[in-house]
Chains A and B, each alone.
Chain A
């Protein structure tokens, strides 16, 4: 049973020169409960717009977006969203940041803190619960954001290149952490990235997008067993084979996006 379904979803934004800019067109794909779907595509192709549509932050210009079998109007219940940029509140300590969701949803301060503390511990920040975000490293702030999202126990998690700003080692660590925390929650995940390795290491299926305006080019299954160790799994023949297969498809789009960028620049 699919919890997210996009049918010919298109999003246009008012362009700078008067002509509307089409970010995504005719997006059609579904995500099942408990399924981890990665969306890859060339940089700047409109992958993030897909998440805005599902989260209800932006309505589609045409087509349909269904979440839990209902068309999206406003922010649907049970949606979590990890943004690319830091979205933790700089004026709140780690535990109060994580408690934000439960507080918004009507829990008393004390109960919200207790609930938050469980997740602060799960993401390995127990010793830093009283710290402010500026006192933390980039990786630790991502852990805060992850806990902030997970504390609401989302049935749908939308992740917009959440680890792209991290260094390679921290990123691998966070990917493992994400898989560990997600396993068994039964949440559906859409994980947007431009890093194909990351997409394959994490996902059950990989959606390849075309260059701008983006639409679905192809969808690939990832035949890798779980639980996975993201650093080990990259070395397995099955991973390399999947990578080669998907890269065949993605390569053309990356090349086209590059040549478009070049011609725009010249």
Chain B
């Protein structure tokens, strides 16, 4: 009688269809890195001037130096913590503001129409230049860097939250209304969860923006931070120092990306796995 409830249990459906052998993948990746670094080291040793282009061994020495002896501005950890703090504050404030405003405006058609040209204009402003302005406004400390990160993060998150809130399935909204949901309940139980996939897609890029905001902010004027290290390296024609600063920043971004993916998998575990992996790669 109830034939279709005997359908195969979900484990079969959930199991990943497309699993490559991980060791093979990592071997090839490692080979790519080795060839790249090796050829760089070789050319910089024999043909081109490492003073301008540096080379992997010099960059490595510089990193070792920073982590053991410290930088020109004190311990490297102080610089990392400073930049990270600015980026995290900027990310949190920008993301919250972007999500809240994006969702509210996404659901209020008239307000969205009114605001549309202003938002477009604000988005067209080269916001990175604001970093200089913020240094004048807020000084050399934490605030000016956080402000730069916030403006960069806000727009990235805002547009996705806005779009996500607009593209909510009408059927879901109608169904919720019929089931007795008030306007607020529709917002919290339908619109916000629907927009979550959209928002997460932007959060991955947004932490990168937060770091850029912090580093550029420091570049524009600061007394500590990775941006200052890089700016100082530029001032002393220290190409290896610039690369070393870039590498530390990249590692921070990758770590944050990893943590965000963990959070995303936790919050969005209702998604079917195929879609899931596709979105991760997006």
Chain A residues near B (Cβ < 8 Å): 55, 57, 75, 79-81, 83, 85-87, 89-93, 100-101, 103-105, 124-125, 127-128, 131-137, 139-140, 143, 148, 152, 169-170, 173
Does A169 lie within 8 Å of B182, measured CB to CB?
Answer: no
A125 CA / B2 CA spacing, docked (Å): 10
Residue of B nearest to A170 (CB): B4
Cβ A104 vs Cβ B180 within 8 A: yes
A266 to B40, CA, bound (A): 65
Q: Are A104 and B2 in contact (CB under 8 A)?
A: no
B176 CB-CB contact with A under 8 Å: yes
Contact present for B180 and A152 (CB under 8 Å):
yes
Other contacts beyond A104-B180, A132-B270, A173-B3: 4, CB < 8 A: A75-B177, A85-B171, A103-B189, A148-B175
Given contacts A132-B270, A135-B14, A152-B179, contact A57 B174 (CB under 8 A): yes
User: Which residues on the A side are within 8 Å of B181 (C-beta)?
Assistant: 100, 104
Asked if B7 is at the interface (CB within 8 A of a chain A CB), the reply is: yes
**Neighbour of B178 across the interface among A81, A93, A173, CB < 8 A:** A81
Complex partner residue of A105 from B5, B180, B196, B270, CB under 8 angstroms: B180
Docked-complex contact A87 and B177, CB < 8 angstroms: no
Which residues from A are CB-within-8-Å of B14? 135
Is B175 touching A91 in the complex (CB atoms < 8 A)? Answer: no
Instruction: Give which listed residue, B5, B10, B196, contacts A125 with CB less than 8 A.
Output: B5
Q: How many Å lie between the Cα of A193 and that of B232 in the bound state?
A: 74
Tell me which of B5, B10, B193 contacts A135 (CB under 8 A).
Answer: B10
Query: Is the interface on chain B under 10, 10 to 19, 20 to 34, or 35 or more residues?
Result: 20 to 34
By beta carbon, the residue of chain B nearest A86 is B171
The tally of CB-CB contacts under 8 A between chains A and B is 83
Question: Would A81 and B3 count as touching, CB distance under 8 A?
Answer: no
Tell me how far the C-beta of A113 lies from the nearest C-beta in chain B, rounded to whole angstroms.
Answer: 15
CB nearest to A123 among chain B residues: B5
Q: Which residues of B contact A (CB under 8 A)?
A: 1-5, 7, 10, 13-14, 169, 171-172, 174-182, 185, 189-190, 193, 196, 268, 270-272
Q: Which of B4, B176, B182 contacts A173 (CB 8 A)?
A: B4
Q: How far is the CB of B134 from chain A (nearest CB, A)?
A: 38
A127→B5 contact, CB < 8 A = yes
| A134: nearest chain-B partner, CB-CB | B272
Enumerate 23 A-B pairs (CB-CB under 8 Å) in ascending A order. A83-B171, A87-B171, A87-B174, A90-B271, A100-B176, A100-B181, A104-B176, A104-B182, A104-B189, A131-B10, A134-B13, A134-B270, A134-B272, A135-B10, A136-B10, A137-B4, A140-B7, A152-B179, A152-B180, A169-B3, A170-B4, A173-B1, A173-B2
A173 CA to B7 CA in the complex, in Å?
14
Complex CA gap A131/B2 in Å reads 18
Report chain A residues within 8 Å CB of B169.
87
Residues of B close to A90: CB separation below 8 A: 270-271
Contact in complex: B13, A135 (CB < 8 Å): yes
The closest CB in chain A to the CB of B180 belongs to A104
Residue of B nearest to A127 (CB): B5
CA–CA, A144 to B122, complex, Å? 45
B172 near A89: Cβ-Cβ < 8 Å: yes
In the bound complex, CA of A90 to CA of B272 (Å): 9
Known: A87-B172, A137-B7. A148 touches B179 (CB 8 A): yes
Complex Cα–Cα for A143 and B7 (A): 14
Question: Is B13 a contact of A104 with CB atoms below 8 Å?
Answer: no
B180 to chain A, nearest CB (A): 4
3 tightest A-B CB contacts, nearest first? A87-B175, A135-B10, A134-B272
What's the nearest-Cβ distance from chain B to residue A147, in Å? Answer: 12
Bound: A85/B171 CA distance, A? 7
Is B270's CB under 8 angstroms from A81's CB?
Answer: no
Q: Which residues of A contact B272 (CB under 8 A)?
A: 134-135
Residues of A within 8 A of B179 (CB): 100-101, 104, 148, 152
- Nearest CB of B to A105, in Å: 5
Give which listed residue, B5, B175, B185, contacts A124 with CB less than 8 A: B5
Q: Which of chain B's residues have a CB closer than 8 A to the CB of A135?
A: 10, 13-14, 272
- When distances are taken between beta carbons in the complex, the residues of chain B under 8 Å from A91 are 193, 196, 268, 270
- Report how far A143 CA is from B3 CA in the complex, Å: 13
Shortest CB-to-CB span from A53 to chain B, Å, is: 13
The distance in angstroms between the C-alpha atoms of A74 and B156, with both chains bound, is 37
**Smallest CB separation, A266 vs chain B (Å):** 32
In the complex the two chains form, is B178's CB within 8 Å of A75's CB? yes
List A contacts of B175 (CB < 8 A).
81, 83, 87, 148
Q: Which of B2, B5, B7, B193 has the most A CB atoms < 10 Å from its CB?
A: B5
Complex CA gap A135/B179 in Å reads 23
CA distance in complex: A136, B6 (Å): 11
